[in-house]
Amino acid sequence: MGRYRFEGEEHLMFRKTLRKFLQNEAVPNYKKWEREGIIPKSFWKGLGELGFLCPQVSEDYGGLELDFTFSVVITEELERVGTSLVGISLHNDIVVPYIEAYGSPEQLERWLPGCTSADYITGIAMTEPDTGSDLANVQTTAIRDGDHYIVNGQKTFITNGVNGNLFVVVVKTDPSAEPKHRGISLLVVEEGTPGFTKGRNLDKVGLHAQDTAELYFEDCRVPIANLLGEEGQGFPYLMEKLQQERLVVAIGAQIASEDMLEMTINYVKSRKAFGKPVSSFQNTQFKLAEMATKVELGKTFLESLIEDHIQGKEIVKKVSMAKYWLTETAHEISSECMRLHGGYGYMEDYKIARRYRDIPVASIYAGTNEIMKGIIAKKMGL
């Protein structure tokens, strides 16, 4: 029996194969990757060879044509190792779906095979130094000049920014449009395009193995053939795809909570204080009982959302709730579990320390939790 109602034998085998690969290739190297600040491209290649990159893509382009349930398995197994592997889920379930949904036949042929093999590692460039969740106010411009767009601007906090070589960039093709969001388009920019450069690998509080960089565009000439979908339709495209992005973040937060709870239960059973296991103290039992309840509620809510999403239902309000609540819950659990580990919880040798520093950013990316609450309130008619 799998974790979810929708899990069958194929899912179980898929999960088992991926877990074995990660145990052999990721777990022993994770600390090294954290020290180096990046996950090697050889690891990406290994995932691609086994079919774990963009499994939803058509077989015509090197994919397996699997549904989102298999992406859930991949997201969960990556998160069990560590949140620094989030760039792979971003590639699989957030960036590549833009190309699949809005790309022309020529673009699909050009980019998708490389996305399934890791010849292309993707990123999405939304955030700017002065613009975060307010996407309608992006300042990066793409002005038409014959058969090219001339792109000028800067993006920051871009996941896969160092490893990436194919970026979906949110630009203003009509800076004078009113309302502003009608001037937004999506351009695909490849590494090596003249005028496109990358900044350093940013030094973050957590996610130390996840490469994150700034991207610079200075009179960058991008062929009009790289326009994704229609000009001026970028904002509706973004809104349509954010449901899945936020669901992926919620899935990661749920797995992080489950992982922290499990490791803490094991720790307090083995650790002694005053001659008896820490797990025997009422405070410990109550804290763990509270966390276990939140984890169980989160899993049940998440399963229903995954099923609705696969059926194509519009669940923006509930996904916003899940993204906000599950990331906040994970943050609370990381703090409680670290304290239950005592002094050892503050040591980098213990996985809970890594969880503690990796969790907070989940309440910020994919739209801050304050934005989530605003969406919920709007859907409530407030």
**245 a catalytic residue:** yes
Do strands 122-125 and 166-172 pair parallel, antiparallel, or not at all (unpaired)? parallel
Token readout for 288 is 């763990």
SS3 of residue 283 by DSSP: helix
Six token digits for residue 175: 């800076």
Per-residue pLDDT tens over the stretch 164-223: 999 999 999 999 999 999 999 999 999 999 999 999 999 999 999 999 999 999 999 999
> What pLDDT is recorded for position 109?
97
Q: Which portions of the chain are predicted below pLDDT 70?
A: 1-2
Which position among 245, 258, 296, 332 bears the catalytic label?
A: 245
Q: Spell out the residues 6+ positions from residue 240 whose beta carbon is closer than 8 angstroms to its own.
A: 101
For tokens 């996840």, the residue is 210
What is the rounded CA–CA span in Å between residue 99 and residue 89? 15
How far is it, in rounded angstroms, from Cα 185 to Cα 335?
A: 41
Q: Which is nearest to 39 in space by CA: 125, 164, 156?
A: 164
pTM metric for this prediction: 0.95
